Chain A
């Protein structure tokens, strides 16, 4: 099976330097694109490949690239940003790509920048990823030295400057318009949309914000073409995916697998099943802001289209597994506390609602819950839902709460009726 994204990654050895990366076929896509493809052809290829953004929302990458104004009347200044903030609890896939093969990200950024006519690019890196920072900065320097970055790349008219920006730890910075404010040196609150960043983003210029994993796919699509890329997926969606599993399983980890691999295969085969003495209870398929799935959902292919069809989301594809000995209310409380803390405070349902939610859940967990708390929580979850806030943090916070309330109804009632948490912790 082809594993284009991780073929160069061997964690024990560290990442390839530029010479070895080139020997392994690296930067070929840039040669090809810059020398023989018009920018619009690159965008068209990406659109046809069916690549969907790996940041969690699954928007067509080619569609987003195509939304950037092109031609002589378009702004001469445009920006590309790699979103390497990765702060969604339970998510550890971009770290693998950043630490494992930094040149692959730079190559992907070159392809995207060429397609949209960007002249400056930033990698927005989370503050804690120090090893990734070291490796990226070294790789960027090598790429400048070999003229894969800088002026007139490979003798063409295409030039690109690339900078690494270290963030300093705040989940909301991963939301693309908050990220843009952060990069401008402002307080990182999301912006009202429209206008969307491809029209007006960083310093008011057309800006494309793309996830690390999304960008890492681009060189391979350009090198090997659309039919090859589509054939990598198992189901409807194209390509491979970095999936991950954490929680009390035998072999937690991250693996590159065909898009559309089922949750069951990830859990039972790749993660080796539950640890001795524990039973599977539920999982969050892709980070803290996704719905709880029970065993009824284990055969769902983990891709954007299949999950959308049944009214749920894959998110980042790195799942968190809940076992039968861990309190589900405690887990929901942990998640909602996170969202409460990370709310930027702009919108009322999020700022005030999440505090109430965390307080109510704490009371229930401590054996001080009231019967009406369940309906109060359900109402708050609805208020956080899509459409009533500036950004998707609030609907994200609603996902595990809403689905948790229905999946763990008995546990909620038991906590309230017996006035204590029946789990040991």
Chain B
């Protein structure tokens, strides 16, 4: 970081928690000569350093952007409230960690939106950077504010804040956007002309080019493009995961972060189609990376970072068709180099005997299952193809092997849920406990500990439940109480997520453009770090809604009709509305849908990979 800037922030660093968050200088961080670059990009993660630095998407795009010679991408994280206060007190504007230069000097200020509860931080960061919060207030030379990440599948609550929204996977589209920007800069930059031209790039959505009209009841009446902007904007995806850019190194943090290890992506998209899971739909279709590539990239990352752990990342590790081959190859060098391999998101129905042997050498975290619902009926409704028998069988094997801790994940408030389903959570947890004591080979002198966590269901766009109301907070509290009463054993520990934050999440997940007023108000009232219990205050948010005359229940707790225009209807994520309606009806009838490799459910995502769905282009087909 430039000497002058360091000098400025050193005054305040010793009075804040974890100053290492704010100084940069990590190995593999990229410092360029600013006079020799054309495009400066501030990649902002609207949460604290330790969370943002753990995020894979940011590492990929940071590496990619900096691989372009005339682009310099820097990292920016949300300063913790103690630091924000000090920065305001000392008049220090938000800066890039690599240069220490204020964000105002950048060409692009990009935010990745990973969860709705980080929106207030987006506003706080822009404000701390001295950049106007609304797109319409920005001048020609102000940075272009660009949003990406999974939450932009409904970017409407932040539409008035964004200059540009990038839909889907960012690798190719960002480069195209940079090319266009370079060209416009050369010809004398005109913001409006540039934005209009950017709208013609597939995957780029310019919210200011669209007008929204509302009905008297608050629903959307009409969504109209202006200036010939496309009526529907389609997300971008990468066709070939083995050929797409992947970083050869990661910035290695100097303070401890949440996931402090090398990560290699093994595939994108998921074949499963659990109906509550947004990630299972918006990243479709499933595309695998060749195992040789994964192996090579993992090795290179370990060499350049010095990490002694590499994690294979995907939505469901056991669905990777080349898992045996991959592990064969990797274990060759990882054991020798004292590197451990970890496989998160391993499904319980994914083990063959051959694989089980290899998996013994792999770090799998604890014994965790996500049945998500307490009864088979409700599991069928949400299309979570996990049976009680599978859970108990796997537990039996694990208990035989000496395990004594099991974690179970559930959701409360799923559509069609009854109190019987809620009790089912307690019953299933109890059955796991019983399974332990039935086992003659159980570890001597040890008890079993089953931790059952129940989060609150949040209906999300582009899922079959996008029309469903969320249970109101009172109902969730009642169900939590009911669950507590149905658990008798002291071997079971119950955890749950605060229903208040899930309510706010539900509002913004399916929100529309009217919500920007609430966001601005909440920001002024001091809302920050809403994902952190110590800072979240529902009361403050409710006041903001009240003051803006907006009823949050309209967004969270209202059932939508199939023919209602939804705020994200103009965005095309591959999957069609017809498919989602079909799936919704099947859900209500508790009918399951086979996963993509068993039978194509006709979701529509195949049009993104040229007609034939990429699911059927993988080696899986050849082998079976």
Bound together: no
